[in-house]
Structure 1
């Protein structure tokens, strides 16, 4: 046998011994670690915009319950997969990942569900929903800054399909609103109506917006925003009592009653114009041609193609009451920072 072959055999033998040694050390280390008691628990909750909807103590209690009540037990008594499954049963937890480091510390990574809207149904119950329509209970830890929808049919055995359709319609409206931060500030409350229709009550202004059904909702909100920027910003804040974007490529505005002028309209108009100015750069509107009773918004898109949106002004004051419907329970709708409430005194 040549020396080269002998050296090759010796080299291979050394490498095999080294690999076997590493495996033995790893196995021994794992055994030693698993016989150690848990040195601590580190919980990391992936919060939604810094808001925590499930408390750390609740996570600890669930973990403790899954290991017989003692989180200081030996590591080998921890079934990490079952512990993860237990955590995922919590409605606010979308996912949970657990691992133990070399210091016998249990690490718990929690991903919360993301609330997209808050719902008040016709029986006064309130809850959040996420992108899958999952109903999430109101958290005692924090409150989500999300659109508020009222008037949805309450869930019972007789209207499960109707309730599901209403939730799906809400998600379509929320999806359209999420594409423009303008509506985070301006949409105070949205009322659900039969036929999957919606009315919007703004944070600034004393009018009602008829959004119609969920069809072409993104375009409807763009038209409404353009109307705010180019028409209402130049009018008294109470000039219109009702605005409708329910019909394709149209905006119908009804004149408001003089009684609404008892509010602090100057301050409301100031806040409204500030809100509008923040969003003007997002829309390239070139001109407005107003005539007696009617007008047209001429919008120039980035392509250079002009589209005309007809605006009809109705001088008659609607007989309907424009005020939002107050939830029946004591958990009132969150009031946005920018909202101005009408003065109760008639001056």
Structure 2
């Protein structure tokens, strides 16, 4: 009878049961050790090119809302609650928190990146980030981004609302379109929305306003503006025109300062030229 017993199967079965019991015991010891682990320090790292917030801001927020974490056991520190509280800050896009084996609580924070500052027709100001959310303005930090003002009806009620109007979405499209373009990043210093809801670009060099209308056909409109700067501006100088209109397809309409008329340098152009 004993000869019929598969000793190898019995051996591996006992070995497996022993390993399972050992694992349970080990996990229990680790859990008790983790629960008894005391926080020895708090380290905060803030990522991103913006400086809306810094390590000190995050540390203060944690200590104010959750008490001083240093000296507390892991059981007392609500890591998930802290992480969620940080992510509710309007300047934070993501937060991760964990404790090292040596008891260091590490907090990694990723900031929102803003691309545009909007001043609406009521004087309310807000930023728009890369995800299309509205971010509040702060006196602590002023990022170097384009400012848009004028006849902008987009409201601002609370942080992280999504942009609603086509107009502000167009303004963001323009910013994203010229990003990385050395000429336009340096030349455009502001955007203005006039009474006709047309977008005007305010240049760094020259006193003329560059009227583009909306964000449609941006490549074509900017190419025509480049033609103006290369072929027309050198002939007439920076004082000749008050506005350069490329709103309409295939045209560069130059408006003299003393009055609007079809100037000799105004032209209908073919993009083949």
**Which residue number corresponds to residue 62 of structure 1?**
61
Q: CA 1:218 to 1:8, structure 2 compared with 1: closer, same or farther past 3 Å?
A: same
Q: CA 1:17 to 1:133, structure 2 compared with 1: closer, same or farther past 3 Å?
A: same
Q: How does 1:157-196 map to 2 (within 5 A)?
A: 164-178=165-179, 180-196=181-197
Conservation of the 8 A alpha-carbon contact between 2:115 and 2:130: yes
Conservation of the 8 A alpha-carbon contact between 1:240 and 1:254: yes
Conservation of the 8 A alpha-carbon contact between 2:211 and 2:246: yes
What root-mean-square deviation, in Å, do the aligned CA atoms of Structure 1 and Structure 2 show? 3.2
**Which residue number corresponds to residue 201 of structure 1?**
202
**Which residue number corresponds to residue 217 of structure 2?**
216
Separation in 1, partners of 2:195, 2:18: 76
Cα deviation, residue 12, structure 1: 4.2
Cα deviation, residue 234, structure 1: 6.2
Cα deviation, residue 51, structure 1: 2.5
Cα deviation, residue 193, structure 1: 2.1
Separation in 2, partners of 1:113, 1:54: 10
Separation in 2, partners of 1:296, 1:102: 71
Q: How does 1:196-345 map to 2 (within 5 A)?
A: 196-232=197-233, 236-255=237-256, 293-295=265-267, 307-308=272-273
Separation in 1, partners of 2:228, 2:24: 71
Conservation of the 8 A alpha-carbon contact between 2:36 and 2:73: yes
Cα deviation, residue 217, structure 1: 3.3
SS at match of 1:200: strand
Q: What does the per-residue CA deviation read over 1:96-116, in whole Å, with 9 as the maximum and x for residues that have no partner?
A: 122222222222121211211
Separation in 2, partners of 1:4, 1:52: 72
Separation in 1, partners of 2:197, 2:75: 54
Separation in 2, partners of 1:127, 1:83: 27
Normalised TM-score (structure 1):
0.65
SS at match of 2:215: coil
Q: CA 1:76 to 1:123, structure 2 compared with 1: closer, same or farther past 3 Å?
A: same
**Which residue number corresponds to residue 160 of structure 2?**
none
The question of 1:94 aligning with 2:107 is answered no
SS at match of 2:149: strand
Q: What does the per-residue CA deviation read over 1:107-134, in whole Å, with 9 as the maximum and x for residues that have no partner?
A: 2121211211012233444321124543
Q: CA 1:298 to 1:7, structure 2 compared with 1: closer, same or farther past 3 Å?
A: same
Separation in 1, partners of 2:36, 2:252: 72
Separation in 2, partners of 1:156, 1:80: 32
Q: What does the per-residue CA deviation read over 1:27-80, in whole Å, with 9 as the maximum and x for residues that have no partner?
A: 312321221221222212221xx322112222112222442x121221111222
Cα deviation, residue 178, structure 1: 3.2
Separation in 2, partners of 1:235, 1:25: 84
Cα deviation, residue 246, structure 1: 0.9
SS at match of 1:77: coil
Conservation of the 8 A alpha-carbon contact between 2:250 and 2:268: no
**Which residue number corresponds to residue 302 of structure 1?**
none
Which range is displaced more, 231-240 or 181-190?
A: 231-240
Separation in 2, partners of 1:230, 1:26: 76
Separation in 2, partners of 1:223, 1:96: 45
Q: How does 1:72-151 map to 2 (within 5 A)?
A: 72=70, 73-151=72-150
Cα deviation, residue 245, structure 1: 0.7
SS at match of 1:76: coil
Separation in 1, partners of 2:19, 2:231: 77
**Which residue number corresponds to residue 51 of structure 1?**
50
SS at match of 1:75: coil
The question of 1:71 aligning with 2:69 is answered yes
Normalised TM-score (structure 2):
0.80
Separation in 2, partners of 1:81, 1:256: 62
Highest RCO, 1 vs 2 (Cα 8 Å, sep ≥ 6): 1
Cα deviation, residue 189, structure 1: 1.0
